[in-house]
Structure 1
């Protein structure tokens, strides 16, 4: 499970980097830049959700081992 979540985090970070390259910093809320901002936000949320999932699994395993 750890390898799978690591792969998902790497993919989400890759999407963030890709979407940053699509941003037009002069006008970030128009056209493709808005789509890139939405992609960055959703990828960031995905990373947070995956990290919360990993932490909950670690806590669950520690509780089971006691």
Structure 2
């Protein structure tokens, strides 16, 4: 599970970097820039969800060790 979360996080990071290059900073809310901004936000959300998943698995392991 740890490897999968790392791979998904890395793919999301690559997606963020790629779409960051597509944003037109002169008109960020027009054309393809909107799509790029939405995709950047989706990538950040994916990374955040993977971090939550990894932390919850660590908590689950610690709870099992105490029993």
Tell whether the structures are fold-level matches, with TM greater than 0.5: yes
Aligned residues: 66
When normalised by structure 1's length, the TM-score is 0.98
Q: Counterparts in 2 of 1:26-41, with a 5 A limit?
A: 26-41=26-41
Question: Does 2:24 match 1:24?
Answer: yes
Displaced runs of 4 or more, over 4 A: none
**Unpaired runs of at least 5, structure 1:** none
Please give the alpha-carbon distance, in whole angstroms, between the structure 1 residues aligned to 2:9 and 2:46. Answer: 8
When normalised by structure 2's length, the TM-score is 0.96
